[in-house]
Amino acid sequence: MNYWLCLTNAENWEVVKNKKVWGVIDRYKNKISQVKPGDILIF
């Protein structure tokens, strides 16, 4: 299990909370692909 620090702004945080989804720009595509089931995301 890994812990990930997820940075976002207030507007996108509302999307995360309401829709249970979080996305990243292409620049972070390789990094986000390392997240596995069971990992902890900290916003």
Q: What is the pLDDT of residues 1-43, one digit of tens each?
A: 999 999 999 999 999 999 999 888 899 999 999 999 999 999 9
pTM listed for this prediction? 0.71
Q: What angle do CA 3, 7, 13 make, to 5 degrees?
A: 110
Query: Under a CB-based contact definition with an 8 Å cutoff, are residues 37 and 1 in contact?
Result: no
pLDDT at 8: 92
Number of neighbours of residue 26 by Cβ within 10 angstroms: 6
Spatial distance between the Cα atoms of 19 and 27, rounded to a whole number of angstroms: 23
- Report pLDDT for 23: 85
Give the residue from 31, 2, 1 showing the smallest Cα distance to 22.
31
